[in-house]
Amino acid sequence: MRKTIHVLLSCLSVFVLDAQGIPQLSNQAQISIMTCGAGDELYSAFGHTAFRVQDSVLGLDIVYNYGTFDFDRPNFYLNFAKGKLIYSLSRSSFERFLFEYEYEKRWVREQILDVTAAEANQLFQFFENNYRPENRDYLYDPLFNNCSNIVAVVLKAQFGDGIAFGGNHLKKQYTFRQLVREFLPTNSWGAFGIELAFGGITDRTTKVPEQMFAPYYAMHQLTNTTKSGNPLVKRERTILDYPEPSNRSTFMTSPLFWFSLLLLFVLMITYLDIRHGTRNRWLDFVLFLISGLAGMSILLLWLATDHVVTQNNFNFLWLLPGNAIVAFFLLSKEKATWLPKYLWFALGCMGLMLVIWILRVQVLSPLNIPLMLILAIRYAFWLKQP
């Protein structure tokens, strides 16, 4: 019965705010930051971060969540492709927020901030003003402006130079790509797609606050952050305690398995083509067309969108956009006179991509290797054809 009353009061507190305006928090109020464990889906693989405002005297228990987006927003998918995806600050009761994580069996940990009553009210006023319709939207970026690293932005905005992010807990400064790989298995479709789209900008070493784009790292960073020389976090507690999700995928459903099968298939077709003096034009048409379209997409993400993470992406050097055009010439019975020069150019670009990888200008996913071999084998095959 007591729990039911608490849930009702928590839900009603949100409506009270809308009806009565922003109240003054009591001296019992607490401001905390909640970190939520990773989920099974790609969008939840990194976890989540949100702010919580509690005041037992006023009966307030509210969560401010900067990780909200709306599929029904006009031109949602077009804006996503253009790098203009809008996220919003949402507000809900604590119980309503917690329901999702309890349902999905994801852990939730809370870090209560050591702030004065005046500072608690300052943060509360900020959240409420930020929640106003004209203020709640922001331009989302998965690494540089998301629900997690916005915590650092809010703390700096409210407490200025009083906030100091310590880095002694970090044994090593990682790149953005290395941090992403901690949360996504390399041999997964999600990781393959993300790494193909990520540019060389993600291979630079992160600064101390920048690694807070990952909620787990933000949580550890907060325990090593001070406010006016004192620890920012007063105490921590576990609200929901569930184990980390396990990787349920199998090797037979992984990219490496299917890319390896495709490589073996191409090797077999190439052997038969050489032995019988034939050209499997439709195989090459598909390979060239898909690789060319992929290369075009990579260039467009870099040059024609506002995405930061897709900048300096040199994957187009082995996924040559020109392949999409060359694919149609390969259907002809006659070999174009300019084709050998193009194929040597394609192989040279692929070699340049490997040099870029070795020099760590841009790190490639190991999953790219069988795909690069497939293209290189067919390039070499066509070079040998009369």
Domain 2-170+208-240 belongs in CATH node 3.90.1720: yes
306-343 b/e with 16+ CB inside 10 Å = b? ebebbebbbbbbbbbbbbbebbeebeeeeeeeebeebb
Output the pLDDT for position 49. 97
Hey, where are the domains in the chain? Answer: 2-170+208-240, 251-384
Q: What are phi and psi of 35, to 5 degrees?
A: -115, 130
Main-chain dihedrals φ then ψ at residue 34, nearest 5 degrees:
-105, 135
What is the DSSP secondary structure assignment for residue 59, as one 8-state letter?
A: T
DSSP letter (8 states) at residue 199: -
Q: At what angle do helices 281-303 and 255-276 cross, to 10 degrees?
A: 140
Please say whether the beta carbons of 142 and 180 come within 8 A. Answer: no
pLDDT score recorded for residue 76:
66
- pLDDT tens for each residue of the chain, 386 residues long: 444 344 444 444 554 555 457 899 999 999 999 999 999 888 889 999 999 999 999 999 999 999 888 777 777 667 766 777 889 999 999 999 999 999 999 999 999 999 999 999 999 999 999 999 999 999 999 899 999 999 999 999 999 999 999 988 888 889 999 999 999 988 999 999 999 999 999 999 998 889 999 999 999 999 999 999 999 999 999 999 999 988 777 899 999 999 999 999 999 999 999 999 999 999 999 999 999 999 999 999 999 988 899 999 999 999 999 999 999 999 988 889 999 999 999 999 999 999 999 999 999 999 999 999 999 999 999 999 87
Our CA angle for 302, 307, 309, nearest 5°, is 80
Cα separation, 53 vs 62, whole angstroms: 5
Which pLDDT does position 20 carry in this prediction? 58
Q: Which of 201, 199, 197 is nearest to 189 (CA)?
A: 197
Name the nearest CA neighbour of 184 among 3, 43, 69.
43
User: Which pLDDT belongs to residue 17?
Assistant: 57
- The helix/strand/coil state of 236 is strand
Crossing angle, helix 368-384 and helix 339-358, to 10 degrees?
Answer: 150
Spatial CB neighbours of 270, under 8 Å, sequence gap ≥ 6 = 377, 378, 381
Give the integer Cα–Cα distance in Å for 377 and 76: 40
The span from the CA of 344 to the CA of 339, in Å, is: 9
Three-class secondary structure of residue 175 per DSSP = strand
Tell me, what's the pLDDT at 13? Answer: 53
Other C-beta atoms closer than 10 Å to the C-beta of 301 total 23
CB 149 within 8 A of CB 67: no
**Among 279, 355, 276, which Cα is nearest to 314's?**
355
CA distances from 191 to 182, 196, 315 (A): 11, 8, 15
Instruction: Classify strands 86-93 and 60-68 as parallel, antiparallel or unpaired.
Output: antiparallel
